[in-house]
A and B are shown apart, each in its own frame.
Chain A
Amino acid sequence: MALVEFKDVKKIYKMGEVEVAAAAGFNFKIEEGELVVIVGPSGSGKTTLLNMLGGMDTVTSGTILIDGTDITKFNEAQLTDYRRFDIGFVFQFYNLVQNLTALENVELASQICDDPMPAIEALKNVSLQDRKDNFPSQLSGGEQQRVAIARALAKNPKLLLCDEPTGALDYKTGKAILKLLEQTCTEQKKTVVIITHNSAFARIANRVIKIREGLVVDVVLNDNPESADIIEW
Chain B
Amino acid sequence: MKNLFFKELLKTISGSKRRFFALFAIVALGCGFFAGLLMSGIDMRYASDEYFNKTNLMDMRIVSTLGFSEDDLDEVIKIEGVKSASESYSYDAMVNTGDKTLSTRIHSLQDRTVLKTSDSSSDTGYKVETICDKDTNPQYENDVDSLGGNSINQLVLKEGNWPTANNECLISYDLKETTNVKIGDKIVVQNTTDDLDDWLTQTEYTVCGKISSSFYCCASSLGTTSLGSGDLDQYIYVLPSAFVDNVTITDLYLRLENPKNFQNMSKEYLDYVAGVKDDVSKLAETRQKMRTQKLKDDAQKELDENLQKFNDEKLSAYSKLNDAKSILDASKLTLDNGKNELEAARIQADEQFASAQTQIDSTRMQTQSALDELLKIDPSTLPDDERIQWYIKVETCKQTLAALDTKQAELDAQKEETYATLDEKTRELQEGQNSYNSGLSDYQSGKAKADSQFADAQKEIDKAQEKINEIENAEWITLTREETYGVKSYDMDASRIDSIARIFPLIFFLVAALVALTTMTRMIEEQRQLIGTFKALGYSRRRITNRYLIYAGIASVLGAAFGIAILSQVLPFIVMYAYAIIYFIDIPPFLLPIDWLSVLLSGGVGVAITLLTSYLVARKTLRTPAATLMLPTAPKPGKRIVLEHIKPIWTRLSFLHKVTFRNIFLDKKRFFMTVIGITGCTGLLLVGLGLSNSINDIIDVQFTDLTHYNTTLTYDDDAHSSDVSQIENELNKNEYFSGYTNLYTKSMMAFSDSNDDLRFEIRVVEDVDKFKEFITLRHRLGHETIDFNKDSVVITEKLATQLNIKAKQGFQIAELDDKGNKTAVTYDIEADDIAENYVQHYIYMGSDAYEKITGKNYYANTFFINRNTQNYLQDDMDSVMHNVDSVKTITYTDQIITLYKESLRSVNLVVVVLVVSAALLAFIVLYNLININITERVREIATLKVLGFRKRELKNYIFREVIILAIIGALLGLIFGFFLEGFVITTAEVDVVMFGREIHLLSYVISFVLTIIFTLIVLFFMGFKLNKINMVESLKSID
A residues sitting closer than 8 Å to B (CB atoms) are: 51, 54, 56-57, 77, 80-85, 87, 89, 91, 93, 95, 97-101, 104, 107-109, 111-112, 135-138, 151, 155
Contact = CB atoms under 8 A, between A and B. Distances in A.
Contacts of B972: none
A100 B659 contact: yes
A54 B942 CA distance: 13
A139 B944 CA distance: 21
Given A99-B638, A138-B637, 10 more contacts: A57-B1031, A81-B948, A82-B948, A95-B940, A95-B942, A98-B635, A100-B662, A107-B655, A112-B953, A137-B634
B819 interface: no
B743 to A, nearest CB: 73
Chain B contact patch, size range = 20 to 34
Given A80-B948, A89-B946, A137 B635 contact: yes
30 contacts: A51-B1031, A51-B1032, A56-B946, A56-B1031, A57-B1031, A80-B948, A80-B950, A81-B948, A81-B950, A83-B946, A83-B948, A89-B946, A89-B947, A93-B1037, A95-B946, A97-B659, A97-B940, A97-B943, A99-B638, A100-B638, A100-B662, A107-B655, A108-B944, A109-B947, A111-B656, A112-B953, A137-B635, A138-B637, A151-B947, A155-B947
B638 A98 contact: yes
Given A85-B948, A137-B635, A57 B1032 contact: yes
Contact of B948 (A91, A98, A112, A137): A112
Interface string B190-230: 00000000000000000000000000000000000000000
- Please provide the 10 A-B residue pairs with the shortest distance between their CB atoms, ordered closest to farther: A84-B948, A135-B638, A137-B637, A83-B948, A95-B943, A99-B638, A99-B662, A98-B635, A56-B1031, A104-B655
B1035 A95 contact: yes
Nearest to A98: B635
Contacts of A95: 939-940, 942-943, 946, 1035
Contacts of B539: none
Contacts of B949: 80, 84, 112
Contacts of A137: 634-635, 637-638
B663 interface: yes
B1035 A91 contact: yes
Given A91-B1035, A97-B940, A104-B655, A77 B638 contact: no
B661 to A, nearest CB: 9
B666 interface: yes
Contacts of A54: 946
A82 B947 CA distance: 10
B639 interface: yes
A93 B1038 contact: yes
Nearest to B949: A112
Interface string B461-486: 00000000000000000000000000
B636 interface: yes
Contact of B659 (A89, A93, A104, A136): A104
A34 to B, nearest CB: 22
A82 B946 CA distance: 10
A125 B1037 CA distance: 28
Interface string B914-950: 0000000000000000000000000110111111111
Contacts of A151: 947
B1024 to A, nearest CB: 14
Contacts of A77: 950
B658 interface: yes
Given A99-B659, A99-B666, A112-B953, A135 B637 contact: yes
Contacts of A57: 1031-1032
- Does more than half of chain B's interface fall in helix, strand or loop, or is it mixed? helix
Contacts of B663: 99
B655 A100 contact: yes
Contacts of B944: 108
Q: Most chain-A Cβ atoms within 10 A of its Cβ — which of B634, B655, B663, B953?
A: B655
Interface string B778-796: 0000000000000000000
A56 B949 CA distance: 12
A97 B942 CA distance: 11
A217 to B, nearest CB: 24
Given A51-B1032, A56-B1031, A101 B638 contact: yes
Contacts of A93: 1035, 1037-1038
Contacts of A56: 945-946, 1031-1032
Contacts of A108: 655-656, 944, 947
Interface string B615-639: 0000000000000000000111111
Nearest to B954: A80
A135 B940 CA distance: 15
Contacts of A81: 948, 950
Nearest to B1031: A56
B723 to A, nearest CB: 87
A95 B655 CA distance: 18
B550 to A, nearest CB: 33
Nearest to A77: B950
B638 A83 contact: no
A104 B635 contact: no
A98 B636 contact: yes
A86 B347 CA distance: 177
Which among A54, A98, A109 has the greatest number of chain B C-beta atoms within 10 A? Answer: A98
A112 B946 CA distance: 12
Between B658, B943, B944, the greatest number of chain A beta carbons within 10 A of the residue's beta carbon is seen for B943
A151 to B, nearest CB: 8
Interface in B815-866: none
Contacts of B1031: 51, 56-57
A10 B814 CA distance: 99
B658 A104 contact: yes
A169 to B, nearest CB: 15
A136 B942 CA distance: 18
Contacts of A89: 946-947
B262 to A, nearest CB: 65
A140 to B, nearest CB: 14
B638 to A, nearest CB: 3
Contacts of A98: 635-638, 940
B481 to A, nearest CB: 67
Contacts of B659: 97, 99-100, 104
B130 to A, nearest CB: 88
B947 A112 contact: yes
Nearest to A137: B637
A155 B946 CA distance: 12
Contact of A83 (B947, B1032, B1037): B947
A87 B634 contact: no
B335 to A, nearest CB: 146
Contacts of B638: 98-101, 135-137
A117 B953 CA distance: 20
Interface string B942-983: 111111111101000000000000000000000000000000
A184 B662 CA distance: 33
Chain A CB within 10 Å, residue with most, of B940, B947, B1038 = B947
Nearest to A133: B640
Interface in B982-1039: 1031-1032, 1035, 1037-1038
Contacts of B1038: 93
A140 B398 CA distance: 209
A80 B659 CA distance: 22
Nearest to A161: B946
A84 B1031 CA distance: 14
Nearest to A101: B638
A152 B403 CA distance: 198
The listed residue with most A CB atoms (<10 A of its CB), out of B635, B636, B666, B1037, is B635
B940 A87 contact: no
Nearest to B942: A95
B1031 to A, nearest CB: 5
Interface string B641-655: 000000000000001
A91 B943 CA distance: 9
Contacts of A155: 947-948
